[in-house]
Amino acid sequence: MENRANQFIRAADVALKDPDLQKAVAYGTRLGFNKRIAAMYEYGEEHGEALRQQSAQIKRRALANLPKLLEEAEKNLLKNGFKVLWAKDAAEANQLILEIAQKHESKLAVKSKSMATEEIGVNENLEAAGIEVVETDLGEFIVQLAEERPSHIVVPIVHKTKESIQKTLEEKANMPPTDDPLAMTRFARAYLREKFLKADLGISGANFVIAEAGSIGLVMNEGNGRFVTSLPKVHIALVGIEKIVATLEEYATLTQVLPRSATGQTLTVYTNLINGPKRSQEKDGPEEIYLIFLDNGRSEIYQSTYADSLACIRCGSCLNACPVYDVTGGHAYGWVYPGPIGSVITPLLKGLENAKTLPYACSLCGLCKDVCPVDIDLPHFLLDLRKDVVSTQKGNWIWDLGISGWSWLMRHPKIYRVGGRVAARVLGLLPLKKLPAPFNAWTDHHAFPVFAKRTFAELWTEHQGEKNG
């Protein structure tokens, strides 16, 4: 998928002028935010925070022992009949998936929701080789029909209204006219059922890989995931190397905190453990299962100061809490991962130079950390990434001049105070809405500030005088 992360400001401007998007995203994120609070603190704040910290500790232990757990997982997966493959990057992963599909002469692949497959562009790669790919998650299915990308990690169509969904289904899937959401769902279910029965390849991700059991865990609210992983003769699971947990007990804990944070449920409708291909005595299940561990930049993150970002369990709660995402939606972020977590991992996975605007797509309110089920300090990472961006700006004459000027003023407080008072009074008299070039970058996208008649220093001096008098 093409990376357009550096176009965030332009894309955000477009999103802010789209009333349908504003309405849909605001409704979806606020609903998700409120449902999370109700579910996480169902048994009181103390219990909710204890569950959150327990989950955080599980993921930190897994990251601390990641190489060992990956080896253990591979050994036990192989023992259970999985075929385990490793992909260092997107190109290698796509090549492996294509080779498997061609080996089994696959013509139709059905997919369950997977951010990893979005990350590497699995659909585009298979379709280029003449293999039909059908998304079977309802939201992903609608997005695919609309020829769009998911705009949310958990709710792919959060940016769409009921009317736009109806239009997509009528125009792209020949649905009989109806504005009834239940009727639309029934139509999609019947449409997809035919695809499930014809598919010869199933592709999924995995929420977790359980090292001690040699199993993969999938949590979902639609039965599509079970169809994808059991009906086709061949199943491919693409999983990021960070999705490891050590034990079934830890997996059970995470399956409590994930749905609470993602959809406000105490437990998802379907919680699946896949323990290998179909056994000789079993009637259902694939004949072969391939599990591909995907690196694609994760090893580099693991060895950096941003390693803790790999603890993310892709619940989307930071998106629902973020005031920036609330008004821009997910497409403005320009790549697969939107919101606060996207603003951190997109620069890490795609290169800071290719996503340098995203660390600034943040008000630094800190709410993303407060709602994170594994307590990732996203605001801290965003500040660090801003520092990294600044370090790359050296050599730009405008930047160097501005920093040098600011540094000089900070060393001369009397001049700074006088200059501040003069600037405030002069600019307050001018009918300016934005600064002239080359100083207009900030005011192009922010309201020009209204200067106070008196400076903070003046007010503080007066306050101290009254206090001491």
Same domain, 156 and 281: yes
Same domain, 144 and 280: yes
438: preceding bond cis by omega (within 30 degrees): yes
Report d(CA 415, CA 422) in Å as an integer.
10
Residue 460 sits in which domain range?
A: 397-468
Q: Per the domain annotation, does 10 fall within a domain?
A: no
pTM: 0.89
pLDDT of residue 395: 62
Q: Per the domain annotation, does 174 fall within a domain?
A: yes
pLDDT of residue 469: 63
Domain count along the chain: 2
Same domain, 259 and 401: no
pLDDT of residue 438: 67
Question: Would you call 318 exposed, middle or buried from its count of C-beta atoms within 10 A (0-12, 13-18, 19+)?
Answer: buried
The one-letter amino acid code at 82 reads F
The one-letter amino acid code at 11 reads A
Same domain, 273 and 151: yes
Domain boundary among 229, 263, 296: 296
For the stretch 91-121, what's the b/e string if a residue is b when 16 or more beta carbons lie within 10 angstroms of its beta carbon? ebbbebbbebbeeeebeebbbbbbebbbbbb
Q: Per the domain annotation, does 351 fall within a domain?
A: no
pLDDT of residue 277: 96
Q: Per the domain annotation, does 343 fall within a domain?
A: no
Same domain, 79 and 225: yes
Q: The domain that contains 60 carries what CATH number? A: 3.40.50.10420
Mean pLDDT by 10 residues, the chain (469 residues): 89 94 95 95 94 97 98 98 98 98 97 96 97 97 96 96 95 95 95 96 97 96 92 97 97 96 92 93 92 98 98 97 96 97 97 95 95 97 94 73 84 85 74 72 72 78 77
Domain boundary among 236, 261, 296: 296
Domain boundary among 281, 296, 311: 296
Q: Are 111 and 136 in contact (CB under 8 A)?
A: yes
With a CB cutoff of 8 Å and minimum separation 6, the contacts of 414 are none
Q: Per the domain annotation, does 338 fall within a domain?
A: no
Report d(CA 90, CA 92) in Å as an integer.
5
pLDDT of residue 25: 96
> How many other CB atoms sit within 10 Å of the CB of residue 86?
15
Report d(CA 251, CA 18) in Å as an integer.
41
